[in-house]
Structure 1
């Protein structure tokens, strides 16, 4: 199967999950992320706001708020497909429904620094392979961000349900792997 066929198949499986399955599996994934030394010592974290039965990482958002971490969330640029800016979010009230129905940082309430180099990034995906490569929704947003010249990011962590781990994804020149993947069953460390 090509990437589009894999994407469609995995999206259908994810859409069929019940609310309780999403909650249960997401809870295990959040525990896995919280068990990482890099999460515990991170001062700056990049998260996302879940949609369409994605892994619910909102407990990580609240954990980061409570522990005083600086939180970045993506905000899609209007009229520039594939480009995201990252706003510093200090409360859930700083978020508005933006592109694709996703909660995003409000541009008038949040700071949007030119350089964003979090200690840890939590990245969603429609699917991942064991090498750390991902299939997203197809817009290339995270690949573009990962390809930017930046200060070092301590760890880029993909999060997904165990059924979203596939044997191998065909890789394009612009694809960038994550260094770790947390699922509801295990933590994968690609070589």
Structure 2
């Protein structure tokens, strides 16, 4: 199972990294159009996003749209004392940034800027791959699975929505019991939607 998941990650990341700049820009514009139709986005004020990395679909246009609408944007930061967990910090044009241990930009830790996840309305999650049942394959650290575990168990907390390129879809992924499936995943060509009973 672990080997297969690793192979899936390798294969999908390879596909994603082969997308050239023009395709990436076009995909980001299409993703933005799809996201603008989300009813969840219209009613949300406090929204967690992430900065694209490793060939991920570009989230910058979406972040800038939210800023222009006066919405509050938050980014994940690796928890300094609780390994495997995330904090979400308020993010604006002048937020001081740093590189975390994975080489990903994140806001410099400032406790006054932390928003408890229960107070977020929406969490856009990165993913390596997803399947036709709504299962999400992350990078393997389990950060988002832990962050979203309460929502998955009870339905309480911010709604998670995945963002991905179309090439990140596979028919079926190998899953583990701690994996948190997503109710919606947005790609440039469509919005995938599943019903989950909590």
1:80 Cα deviation from its structure 2 partner: 4.7
Structure 2 residues without counterparts, runs of 5 or longer: none
CA RMSD of the aligned region, Å? 2.1
3-state SS of paired residue (2:63): helix
The residue that corresponds to 2:156 in the other structure is: 152
The residue that corresponds to 2:7 in the other structure is: 5
1:76 Cα deviation from its structure 2 partner: 1.0
Does the 8 Å contact 2:127/2:137 carry over to 1?
A: yes
The residue that corresponds to 1:106 in the other structure is: 108
Structure 1 residues without counterparts, runs of 5 or longer: none
3-state SS of paired residue (2:61): helix
Question: C-alpha separation between the residues in 1 aligned to 2:13 and 2:123?
Answer: 22
| Structure 2 length-normalised TM | 0.87
State which drifts further: 81-90 or 7-16. 81-90
1:119 Cα deviation from its structure 2 partner: 1.6
The residue that corresponds to 1:49 in the other structure is: 51
The residue that corresponds to 1:123 in the other structure is: 125
1:90 Cα deviation from its structure 2 partner: 2.9
Does the 8 Å contact 1:94/1:110 carry over to 2?
A: no
3-state SS of paired residue (1:35): coil
2:182 corresponds to which of 171, 178, 181: 178
| Structure 1 length-normalised TM | 0.90
Does the 8 Å contact 2:28/2:61 carry over to 1?
A: no
Count of residue pairs the alignment pairs up: 191
3-state SS of paired residue (1:2): helix
Question: C-alpha separation between the residues in 1 aligned to 2:96 and 2:133?
Answer: 35
State which drifts further: 44-53 or 152-161. 152-161
